[in-house]
Amino acid sequence: MLIESAYRKLTMGDCMHILISNLLKNLKMFEKILIYGTGNYANIIYPMLKKAGLKEKICSFVVTGTTDISQIDGIPVKSLSELKDIDTRLFGVLIATGKEYEKDIERGLSNFGFAQVLKLTDYILVNNSLEK
């Protein structure tokens, strides 16, 4: 299986294809994983990562500010500032947000010393004509 795609309905007929095999290959290189985001993208990708056996590597979901969500499926949700004392060399971060937030998130992660960062959007193809 060279490329496996996952299909999820986004909005107004857009269909999202996640190149999951490529993403999993890259995530498996990390000792520990942080998922940045708790919205739609995170809710789409997390079950796929769990199904692939990566739940044990996922240490936390991360948000920029504060949130009312304390955990997702037993995994804590933390603000970026709560991670200031961890050894960032041990972690890979998957940014699971829309493109419009990525630059600010990357800047914040860099300021905290995170160098191993993947963007979910780099593994997504969107086609609004697939189901029309």
pLDDT at 5: 40
Which tokens is 63 given? 């948000």
The length of the chain is 132
Predicted TM-score (pTM) of the model is 0.85
* CB contact at 8 A, 96 and 35: yes
Closest CA to 55 of 73, 82, 37: 73
**Segment 80-125, tens digit of pLDDT:** 999 989 999 999 999 999 999 999 999 999 999 999 999 999 998 8
Strand pairing report for 32-36 and 91-95: parallel
pLDDT at 14: 59
**Segment 4-44, tens digit of pLDDT:** 344 344 433 456 688 899 999 999 999 999 999 999 999 99
